Structures are given as structure tokens and as C-alpha cells.
Amino acid sequence: MSQAPVGELRHTPLHALHRQLGARLVPFAGYEMPVQYSGIIEEHRTVRSAVGLFDLSHMGEIEVLGEEAVAFLRYALVSDPGALETGQAQYSMACDVDGGIIDDLIVYRRAENLFWVVCNASNRDAVVGQLTALLSRGDFGATIEDRSDHIALLAPQGPNAAALVGELTDLDLASIGNYRSAPGTVAGVDCLVARTGYTGEDGFELFSDSRRARELWAALAAAGERHGARPCGLGARDTLRLEAGMPLYGNELNRETNPFEVNLGRVVKLEKGEFVGRAALQAVQQAGPTRKLIGLQMVDNAIPRAGYEVRADGDAVGHVTSGTLSPTLGTRIAMAMVPAALAGVGNAFEVVVRERPYRAEQVKLPFYRRERDERT
Amino acid sequence: MSYPDDLRYSKEHEWVRAEDGRATIGITSFAADELGDIVFIELPEVGATLSQFGTFGVVESVKAVSDLFAPVSGEVTEVNEVLRDAPERLNADPFGEGWIARVTLADAAELDNLMDAAAYAAETA
């Protein structure tokens, strides 16, 4: 959040607190961030069974404002933010003219002409750069402001998240459905309360003024004691999202990959009219993607990791994009990019671990889906 | 942090307990804590020959893959098979139930290349 010279790591407002909590801090996207506190597996299980507290204040928040904010975002992103009602949010992507993914992000409609684009910290400069360049052509009556340095993001995630946040707010959380948000106070701190997340569980993302973040965290942690809450780091966030089959930029997503290859063609609204990357993406949609992101479960006892070679019938055909021992399932799981022609649930692959091939089977994504979502 | 006095320690965070020409080896509590939750170990085979400071296996935590480096040279006579199904013992009891292998001690003079508990404590402070 605080500006730092090149080469120095930035800190979120909770940095000192993370240290006090015994977090292991690592460099991540230019920030020094907690990768774990008590241990990744325990934190992972806390989110699946109770509620975990994440500090995600490194993420980017870009405000888009203006009479033509809708028209601008419809042009800059592959989805259709014009379809959002005020208070609604949408998973989206910014793509380049060649259809390559610049970033995946969430667009929140806060008012008729006011949107927030929440992007990955690692791509904040790229997204701001892209939006600025598109606006500079002067075709749209809209402005953007990168508010990332002034906004903190705390995320209580897990089945007890609603009970926890509900104790601290007057908002009717039942009326905030999945991918919905509302302004309100949590523990007396003004927030945008969004029912979004990256864990495969119910949960919230609370955006607040960064100067109030410590206060908000303290209130969540104190009330959280009754709900089995525990601070959780980026390590658990990674295993949680992988089980939930959610892509991570830098692993599954990059400039050389288009949305159709990663099973996210539904995000791309070709019918909405002209937008950046439309021609290239339409060509991919018509021809079908040549590669496909698949789920693998290891048959043999070896853990697949990002970058490991994937073989079919002994031939190198692709690579693992993310892999781990699944803390929830106890199985060894991976996402991998392979030729589309070879993809099919039940198909046999091998993953090369330390120069030896180990058997794997393609399985359906996601690996984990929470039990029935009772909200609409 | 303090470490058992009867062991010798390598810079790569392995320990060795030498007695009567045999040695038991494992990873230190420092290494186990640094790795985090250990979820997999690739053990050496019985009969394999280890050379001091050479790799002899792999441990994997949730996030990371790390080589194991032999603190002494020798031939593997026994491995801790329990770790295959219970690698978490490396975290829970690294100096006891989490031992990794027993080897014949090829050259007792190699122990002089290792640290005692006080030196290792200083190394990891």
C-alpha cells in the first residue's frame, strides 16, 4: 500500500500485525506478504470448516467513473459490465488485441456511472496502463483512478464468514447474494461488503480505507474467536483456489493464453459489439481452442508441480500449471495445459517428476465444490 | 533455539547420531519448521551408497520441493518406512520418530566436518 522505491517491498497496513502473529513473510507481487501463520494445511482446513481471515490489501482497486463508464468497460474488457445492476459484480478479463489475457479481475458496479475494477497486484500496472492507453484516445467520457494505495482488502472466507460478519454489521447479509456487494459499516468501519472470494467457500471481501484496516482486522479477529477464525496466508489461498479449479494469473493465465483455452469462454461476450481482442477471440471461438486446461489426479504417489512436463503415450504434450497435495481430498491434483485433441475426462497422462513419469488421470474440474449453496 | 547435544549437524540442516560405526540421520527441527507442513518424502533405497553432502532424497511441503543432503557417507541399511504414509512425523518429531535412514558410517572423521549443537544453534539463530 505504501509507496516504496524500486527493489524495496511494499507493506500492507497490517504488516506489523502479521509479524506479531508469527507469519512467515515472503515477497509477492512487490509486497512482503504472509504466506502462512500456523501452517498451510491447518489454515486451509479452517477455511473449509470455519472461517479464515485474509489480508489481500496488495490487490489493485481501480475506480472507473463517468457518463460513458459502461461503454468504456464494455470496450476494455471481454465481459459485459453493462449487464450489471448497481451492487452486482462480475468476473472478467482484460485481453490484448491478439486475445492474450492481460489480467483476470472482478468488476463491481457501485452506481450507474461508477465501477471498481479489482485486479491482481502483480498486474496492477499492466491493467492501469491498458485502461489509461485506451482512454487517452479520447473516445470515452470516463476517467480512471488507481486507488490501490488507499484501499485495504480483508477477506473473511469460509462457512462461518456470514455469521462472523453478521455480528459486526447492520447490513442484511442474506440480501447480499453471491457476486453482490453493498456499502455499509463493519465494526464501525465504512466498507464495501462484497460476497466474493477465491477459495471455493462462501465469504466476503471487505474493502475499506487503508487507515482503518487494523481496526477492522482486530474486530474480525476478536469476534472470530467464537467462530473458529484463524488468520490465513497466501499459501492456503493458493491450495484453496486450486481445489476449487480457479485459475491463477502467472500459472494458468498469461499473455500467451486466451480465455477459451482455460474454459472461460463464457466470460467473453462476443455479441456485445466491438471490444479489445474481439476479432482474435471470435476466431478462437469459431475454430475452437488448440489447447485446453484440464484437471489431473495422480494415480501414482508423486506430487505434480507447476512447470512439470505432461506426457501422453510417452510423448511430451504439455505442462502442469499448478499442482499440490489437496489438503481437503488427500489426493495429488494438478491443472495442466494440453492439446485440446487429447483432453477428455478419464484420459491417461503421465507427469514427469524428477525425470520419472508418474501416472495421472484426467478428472473433472473443479476438484472440490462446496455443498449446496443456499443463497441465490 | 537449542538442539540435542548428542547429535552433529550440517549446514544443510540434517543431523546425524553416530554410534558404533553406524549412524542415524534426519532433518533438524529448524529445517522442518522452515519447510512447513511436510506432505511427501522420497526415501533412499536400502543398499544405496550416500556420500557426505550429496543428495539422498527429497522432501516436499505443501508449497516447496527440497533435496535432502547426506550429513555423512555410508551405505543405507534401513529407512524409516513409516514416513511414506506419515511424512508429518518429520514436523512433529524430527529428532525422534521422524528419523529418515540408518547408514553404516564410512568414515568417522567426516563427523569433524559437522557442527555440534551449540555451533548449529548459532548458525540458525
Contact B122/A at CB under 8 A: no
Separation between Cα atoms, residue A86 and residue A21, nearest integer Å: 38
Please compute the mean of the pLDDT values over residues A274-279 and round it to a whole number: 98
Please name the residue of chain B whose CA is at the shortest distance from the CA of residue A302.
B40
Does the structure show a pLDDT above 80 at A191? yes
Q: Chain A: give the shortest CA distance to residue B46, in Å.
A: 19
Does the structure show a pLDDT above 60 at A336? yes
Peptide bond before residue A366 is cis, with ω within 30 degrees of 0: yes
Give the model's pLDDT for residue A370.
94
Q: What is the pLDDT along chain B (125 residues), one digit of tens a residue?
A: 789 999 999 999 999 999 999 999 999 999 999 999 999 999 999 999 999 999 999 999 998 999 999 999 999 999 999 999 999 999 999 999 999 999 999 999 999 999 999 999 999 98
Domain annotation covers residue B121: no
The 10s digit of each residue's pLDDT in A112-121 is 999 999 999 9
Domain annotation covers residue B116: no
Give the model's pLDDT for residue A372.
65
Please name the residue of chain B whose CA is at the shortest distance from the CA of residue A44.
B62
Domain annotation covers residue B119: no
CATH 3.40.630.30 fits A290-376, yes or no: no
**pLDDT over 90 for what percent of chain A?**
96
Cell of A152: 485495504
Cell of A369: 465444490
Chain B partners within 8 Å of A305 (Cβ)? 65
Does the structure show a pLDDT above 60 at A92? yes
Please compute the mean of the pLDDT values over residues A118-131 and round it to a whole number: 98
Q: Which ipTM did the prediction report?
A: 0.90
Chain B partners within 8 Å of A308 (Cβ)? none
Does the structure show a pLDDT above 50 at A200? yes
Domain annotation covers residue B24: yes
What are φ and ψ of residue B7, in 5° steps? -110, 160
Give the model's pLDDT for residue A373.
54
With left for phi above 0 and alpha for psi between -120 and 50, is residue A260 left, alpha or beta? Answer: alpha
Q: Residue B37: which residues within 8 A CB-CB, separation 6 or more?
A: A39, A40, A41, A42, B61, B62, B88, B91
Domain annotation covers residue B120: no
Q: A103-112, A218-227, A325-334, A367-376: which range is least confident on average?
A: A367-376
Please compute the mean of the pLDDT values over residues A306-318 and round it to a whole number: 98
Instruction: Please identify among residues 62-91 of chain B the ones whose CB lies closer than 8 Å to any CB of chain A.
Output: 62-63, 65, 84
The 10s digit of each residue's pLDDT in A216-225 is 999 999 999 9
**pTM score of the predicted model:** 0.95
Cell of A284: 478462437
Cell of A281: 477471440
Return the residue matching grid coordinates 492474450.
A100
Separation between Cα atoms, residue A218 and residue A290, nearest integer Å: 49
Q: Across the interface, do A325 and B58 touch by the CB < 8 Å criterion? A: no
pLDDT band at A215; cut points 50, 70, 90: very high
Residue B2's DSSP bridge partners are none
CATH 3.30.1360.120 residue spans of chain A? 1-287
Could you tell me how many CB contacts below 8 A there are between chain A and chain B? 36
Give the pairing type, strands B38-42 and B49-50: unpaired
Nearest residue to A340 via CA among A245, A253, A259, A261:
A261
Contact B6/A at CB under 8 A: no
Q: Rounded to whole angstroms, what are the CA distances from A44 to A199, A230, B37, B83?
A: 9, 10, 12, 22
Give the model's pLDDT for residue A371.
84
Does the structure show a pLDDT above 50 at A376? no
Instruction: Please identify among residues 8-27 of chain B the ones whose CB lies closer than 8 Å to any CB of chain A.
Output: none
Mean pLDDT, chain A, rounded, equals 96
Chain A partners within 8 Å of B40 (Cβ)? 301-303, 325
What is the domain extent for residue B62?
A: 8-108
Q: How far does CA A64 lie from the centroid of its chain?
A: 20
Secondary structure element (H or E) that encloses residue A19, with its range? helix A15-20
Domain annotation covers residue B67: yes
**Helices A69-76, A124-135: crossing angle, 10 deg rounding:** 120
Q: Across the interface, do B36 and A354 touch by the CB < 8 Å criterion? A: no
- Half-sphere exposure (CA, 13 Å, Cβ side) for B112? 3
CATH 2.40.30.110 residue spans of chain A? 290-376
Number of domains in chain B: 1
Chain A partners within 8 Å of B38 (Cβ)? none
At B13, the amino acid letter reads: H
Domain annotation covers residue B115: no
The 10s digit of each residue's pLDDT in A38-67 is 999 999 999 999 999 999 999 999 999 999
Give the model's pLDDT for residue A257.
98
CATH number attached to the domain at A1-287:
3.30.1360.120
